[in-house]
Amino acid sequence: MKVLFVLHQTILMGGGTKSFKVMLKGLMQKGVEPVVAMPDHQGVYREIAGLNIRTIVVPFRDNTYPWVRSVTDVLLFLPRIVVHGMMNAYAVAKITHEARQAGVEMVHTNVSVCSIGFRVSRRLGIPHVYHIREYADLDFDLHFFPTRGSYLRKLSSPSSFNICITKDIQRHFGQTGNRCSRVIYNGIQPSEKELPVGEKENYFLYAGRVIAAKGVSELVEAYSAYLGKTRHSMPLYIVGEQPDAVFLNMLKNYIEQHHMGGHVSLFGQRSDVRELMKHARAIIIPSRNEGFGRCMPEAMFCGCLTVGRNTGGTCEQMDNGLALTGGEISLRYDTEEQLTQILLEVSENSMSYYAPWIERAFRTVNQLYTAESNVDSVYEFYLEIMKSERERR
């Protein structure tokens, strides 16, 4: 089976990219022959090209409206729409030509906000799979061009299929009950036989992009309240990409104004995140509306206690664990006040107190979010798609 995969970006540490790499490796082991289209030669391109996978590199843009964050953005709004449309038209033509030469039988787009793969599939007359990894509007404030309805019509068109990474995302796009839609959770890593054991150190951890949608400001505010209520505070390490300079400056100003410079460390991206997870007292996942949130199961695979906001994919993971094990797998909260209280309790209690949470969490991720489970489910869906397409024709 030859499949064209379309990546909307090549950011190496992005959650979608990391999930794609796990899926790609497993599908290749099952005999899938990949061709990968992407917009530049950066990031993950080097890894994919290094595997001798055929690549198609041509600039293109997401199928969403441009950002409007400044006067310049307002002035360039319409010109950007025109230029992006021209870029995408050229990309579709080039990718279609090369995909036809390669004998591609299916197109799989790695996210929902890119329409290039869908348009290529229509030209080739082959099935298309949208891998819906985000809410788009709720988590990233992205809006489909020209309308959300136009995107939903793509999902319901003939030979159009989709994979949703949570039940809530499937519901958000009206795909619940659609026979052409599947909920397949991300594959984090191969299954582990034993729970990793690491000496815990006295720090809290946040790992992810430092942007407003991830709830970092709310975390820092709750942590500020925590500092005012304890005499034996633990530092907060904030690790991850810092793509929004305006938000980062606002965060730094808040930290300085509240005299937290000696307590909160902004590290940027690091290569030792798993080690930080393994030794942290707890990791906090404060995202306002997380699509799935790889950070939580990654930490659980490392034997790290998790504290999660009771929304979106974070909530769904916690609910899955509760249903599977009969007990909570994470400390969940709804308000900043509740988060502050949890930070206080985790500071005061011994880690042995939270051992049952950590054990149940490891059991959950080792059953639901393994690379094996993800790849098997995607491959089975592929086989169903190809069978239904043969019967339809």
H/E stretch holding 387 reads helix 371-392
Q: Which residue has the tokens 């309308």?
A: 147
Provide CB contacts within 8 A for 85, sequence distance 6+: none
Q: How far is CA 139 from the centre of its chain?
A: 11
* Tens of each residue's pLDDT in the chain, 393 residues: 999 999 999 988 788 999 999 999 999 999 999 999 999 999 999 999 999 999 999 999 999 999 898 899 999 999 999 999 999 999 999 999 999 999 999 999 999 999 999 999 999 999 999 999 999 999 888 999 999 999 999 999 999 999 999 999 999 999 999 999 999 999 999 999 899 887 999 999 999 999 999 999 999 999 999 999 998 899 999 999 998 999 999 999 999 999 999 999 999 989 899 999 999 999 999 999 999 989 999 999 999 999 999 999 999 999 999 999 999 999 999 999 999 999 999 999 999 999 999 999 999 999 999 999 999 999 999 999 999 998 877
Q: What is the DSSP string of 118-150?
A: HHHHHHHT--EEEEE---SHHHH---BSS-HHH
What are the Cα distances from residue 47, in Å, to 24, 43, 133, 180, 273?
12, 8, 22, 31, 20
Contact 135, 312 (CB under 8 A): yes
Bridge partners (DSSP) of residue 308 are 285, 332
Neighbours of 43 (CB within 10 A): 17
- Where do the domains of the chain lie, and which CATH numbers do they carry? 2-187+370-392 (3.40.50.2000), 204-368 (3.40.50.2000)
- Token pair listed for 319: 């609910």
**What integer pLDDT is reported at residue 198 of this predicted model?**
79
Question: Bridge partners of 162?
Answer: 130, 181
Separation between Cα atoms, residue 183 and residue 170, nearest integer Å: 7
What pLDDT, on the 0 to 100 scale, is given for residue 328?
Answer: 98
CA 105, CA 115: separation in Å to the nearest integer? 18
Other Cβ atoms less than 10 A from the Cβ of 326: the count is 8
What SS3 class is residue 160?
strand
User: For residue 88, how far is the Cα from the chain centroid?
Assistant: 24
- Residue 6: other Cβ atoms inside 10 A: 29
How far apart are the C-alpha atoms of 163 and 353, rounded to whole Å? Answer: 38
Task: Catalogue the long-range contacts made by 196-202 (C-beta closer than 8 Å, 24 or more residues apart).
Answer: 196/278, 196/301, 196/302, 196/303, 197/303, 198/278, 198/279, 198/302, 198/303, 199/279, 200/279, 200/280, 200/281, 200/351, 201/279, 201/280, 201/281, 202/234, 202/235, 202/281
Residue 265 corresponds to which amino acid?
Answer: S
Q: What's the pTM value of the predicted model, to 2 decimals?
A: 0.93
Residue 327 · residue 296 · CB < 8 Å: no
- The pLDDT assigned to 223 comes to 98
The whole-angstrom distance between residue 353's C-alpha and the CA centroid of its chain comes to 31
Phi, psi for 273 (deg, rounded to 5): -60, -40
* pLDDT given at position 140: 87
Residue-level pLDDT at 197: 82
Number of neighbouring beta carbons within 10 Å of residue 164: 26
- How far is residue 283's CA from residue 203's CA, in Å, rounded to a whole number? 9
Predicted local distance difference test score (pLDDT) of residue 159: 96
